[in-house]
Structure 1
Amino acid sequence: MSRPIIATINQKSLKHNLSIVRSLVPKSKIWSVIKANAYGHGINNIWSLSDTDGFALLSIEEAIILREHGWDKPILLLEGFFHLKDLYLIDRYHLTTVIHSQWQIKALENVLLLNPINIYLKVNSGMNRLGFNQKLFHTIRKKLISLNNVHETTLMMHCGDADNQNTIIQSFRLTQRLITGLNCPCSISNSACVLWHPEVNHDWVRVGILLYGASPSGNWLDIANINLKPVMTLSSKIIGIQHLKKGDSIGYGYNYQAKKSQRIGVVACGYADGYPRHAPTGTPVLVDDKITQLVGVVSMDMITVDLTDCPKATIGSNVELWGNTIKIDQVAQVSGTIGYELMCSLASRVPVNIIC
């Protein structure tokens, strides 16, 4: 490896985080959400999370990877299937699929499968993305359970506003009303609900961002007391040193000017690696175990950092962009985005190191 930037994926932290989640939902089963290539961590680096009850993702291709690695427990397709022919793969690989539209029901009626499949019937909770109107739930459920191709049907909703207590109460009441008198499993909770609204946990919870050690609210302080560990660390090294005089500028646009004599470190990391282009001056960076800050504009391949409080830092000094000390939520928050996006934006050119 020539260029020093590297992303480290700590599988021990991942397993630790799952154990924390399980302690929060002792009566529920856990779907570990690994869509978007496991939130940028790499599905091949995550699939060994054997303590989970099931994996939830988007693509059949990723589901097949899991099966070929020997995973024989449940797999949930969160957006369902996109073509009628997908049902043959769902049947062959024993996948569970979301049903959210009428055409999918017609497809189930008109295909000949070897085995009945498990269905997650998605109800629109008010986000108005995917899902049936709640008034249609009983009609559609009756239709589905009458089909030879359907085995078990689970009610599914998604809480899109878990910060709003009224929204959660409405979702809880809606769920209770829909399943009254039915032997119908439910899956409502996401990471935010698991943390703050255990009343909607039900049979299965779907947990994503918590597994990777970041906050569903985007604020690290909201989860600082539950002992989650960051799974991804993005690190690099200083590759250059500049000595500025008062009034000297840094980088594109010369938008940062030194107010005094200043020592600057040039770090091998830029937006082409997945670091946020809009990270402002002041974004925290760790250099040789001392917290300092980004100065100037992020460029494609490099950032510049203030070494005023790092007198021993030199070329080759270690830099943490995010990880155990600099939380990914902190970097995202000051950059006007969320930790989810930074994880998913990790570039393919960044080498990955796995800690087992």
Structure 2
Amino acid sequence: MTRPAKISINSNNIIQNCKLARQLHGGKLLAVVKANAYGHGDLLVARQLAEYVEGFAVACLEEAVVLREGGITHPIVLLEGPFSALEIPDYLHYQLTPVIHHIDQYAWWSEATSSQGIWLKFDTGMHRLGFQEKEINELFRNNKAQNSIRIDVLMTHFANADSIDPQLVHLPMERFKRVLSEMGIEGSIANSAAIMLHSQLRSNWARPGLMLYGVDPLGRAASEVGLKPVMKLTSEVIALRWIDVGESVGYGSTFTASQPTRVATIACGYADGYPRTAKNGTPVWINGKKLPLIGRVSMDMITVDVTQQADVQLGSQVELWGDNINVAEVAHCSGTLAYELLCHTHRPARINS
């Protein structure tokens, strides 16, 4: 590629972040690699983590098949389960584990097999997927009486795991523990936020996702919480110019100079995964210093105020996020989340060990 906008992935840092998840949680790890491993490359990440985790989680059958056909033999859990009964033969063929969250899925599975296990989802307050407490208790009792299917794990997903207020997780935690104790099977509660913030939410299986990719769910700098950034979005300066007081930059003239301003044009824009909504002042790293984005983000270019950095020249290397610019900070300046920025990148990645 000749275009300087590039994504690079530090595969060693993925492993270090996984080890931190293990250290904090202590139990089994189900590494979440859905959405192309949050933009990092699902098969790349799965192969890198294979010896450090007990299983992988994806969102759909197509994602699971990529892993299986790529040589991954670990348990693969599909977090939304089958979308129709027509998928069940592929689940069985590829030895995949569905998360069952409504009664139709349960019926499809029980008609197909009694030997291949499932995870069962309990809705403790998120109200997206899962059985209510009365429903899940009745289903479990009936299933046990009829010896229908093997239920291996009870899981839930908390609505406020990223809150530092323990009261917001106390009630759903108590609901979950009450049902889990009646079932006598393994449990899965903790996502990345719960692993890092709430020791009381640890159970048999944790589901680290965002933290594997070096991003703290609360937006803190990775180094503050022991994480290491994994993805780096970089480019370089392709043009430099001075503009006078009163002159503007970019579409819509959203930035107007209040003093003579040296403007660097960077080869990166929303077609490269950089957020179009990034506002004036969003930090960009050039030659060892944070400098402010100015003007509107274009499809394949952004502009930066480099007035205070005299050594910036054509070809100067630029980091949009990575080791020096926290992707969560860019997301905050863009009115979104780090999850979205990572998932939206699609340039071919360079792998750095």
| Interval containing the TM-score (normalised by the shorter chain) | over 0.9
Match of residue 238 from structure 2: 239
- Partner letter of residue 209 of structure 1? L
SS in 2 for 1:110: helix
Q: For the Cα contact (< 8 Å) 2:216–2:225, is it kept in 1?
A: no
Task: Confirm or deny that 1:17 pairs with 2:31.
Answer: no
1:353 corresponds in structure 2 to 350
Residue number in structure 2 paired with 1:60 = 61
Aligned: 1:270 with 2:301: no
Contact 1:277–1:298 (8 Å) recurs in 2: yes
Aligned partners of 1:149, 1:280: CA distance in 2, in Å? Answer: 55
User: SS of the residue aligned with 2:330?
Assistant: helix
Alignment of 1:1-356 (within 5 A): 1-26=1-26, 28-48=27-47, 49-50=49-50, 51-111=52-112, 113=113, 116-145=115-144, 150-162=149-161, 163=163, 164-217=165-218, 219-221=219-221, 224-346=223-345, 348=346, 350-356=347-353
CA contact (8 A) 1:84 1:107 kept: yes
How big is the shift at 1:144? 3.5
Q: Give the C-alpha shift of residue 78 in structure 1.
A: 0.2
Letter in 2 for 1:2: T
Shift in Å, 1:176: 2.1
Measured in 2, the distance between the counterparts of 1:295 and 1:235 equals: 18
CA 1:242–1:145 in 2, change beyond 3 Å: closer, same or farther?
farther
User: Residues 135-168 of structure 1, C-alpha deviation per residue, up to 9 Å, x if partnerless?
Assistant: 1222111334456662333111101112142231
CA RMSD, 1 decimal:
1.6
Cα-to-partner distance string for 1:206-236 (whole Å, 9 max, x where unaligned): 110000011212x224x54322011100000
Unaligned 5+ residue runs, structure 2?
Answer: none
Matched-pair contact (CA < 8 Å) for 1:145–1:153: no
SS of the residue aligned with 2:150? strand
SS in 2 for 1:125: coil
Equivalent pairs counted in the alignment come to: 349
* Structure 1 CA distance for aligned equivalents of residues 124 and 98 of structure 2: 18
Q: Distance in 2 between matches of 1:243 and 1:210?
A: 41
Q: TM-score, normalised by structure 2?
A: 0.95
Partner deviation per Cα, 1:174-198 (whole Å, 9 max, x = no partner): 1221123442111111111111111
CA separation of 1:264 and 1:118: change in aligned 2, threshold 3 A: same
Is this contact kept in 1: 2:110–2:149, CA < 8 A? no
In the alignment, the residues of structure 2 paired with residue 261 and residue 189 of structure 1 have an alpha-carbon distance, to the nearest angstrom, of 52
TM-score by length of 1: 0.94
Residue pair 2:124, 2:176 contacting (<8 A) in 1 also:
no
Distance 1:93 1:144, change over 3 A: farther
Matched AA of 2:204:
D
- Could you say what secondary structure the match of 1:174 adopts? helix
For 2:31 and 2:220, locate their aligned partners in 1 and report how far apart those are by CA, in whole Å: 21
Structure 1 residues 95, 353: CA separation in 2 closer, same or farther (over 3 Å shift)?
Answer: same
Kindly indicate which of the two structures has a greater share of residues assigned to helix. 2
Rounded Cα–Cα distance in structure 1 between residues aligned with 2:334 and 2:107: 45
Alignment partners' CA distance in 2, 1:255 and 1:67: 48
Structure 1: unaligned runs, 5 residues or longer: none
The worse-fitting range, judged by mean Cα deviation, of 72-81 and 141-150 is 141-150
For the residues of structure 2 that align with 1:179 and 1:44, how far apart are their CA atoms? 33
Amino acid in the other structure paired with 2:109 = L
Deviations 1:327-348 (A, max 9, x none): 10010011111100100111x3
Q: Is the 8 A contact 1:109 1:147 kept in 2?
A: no
- Residue 148 and residue 88 in structure 1: after superposition, are their counterparts in 2 closer, same or farther (change >3 A)? farther
- Tell me the CA shift for residue 54 of structure 1: 0.7
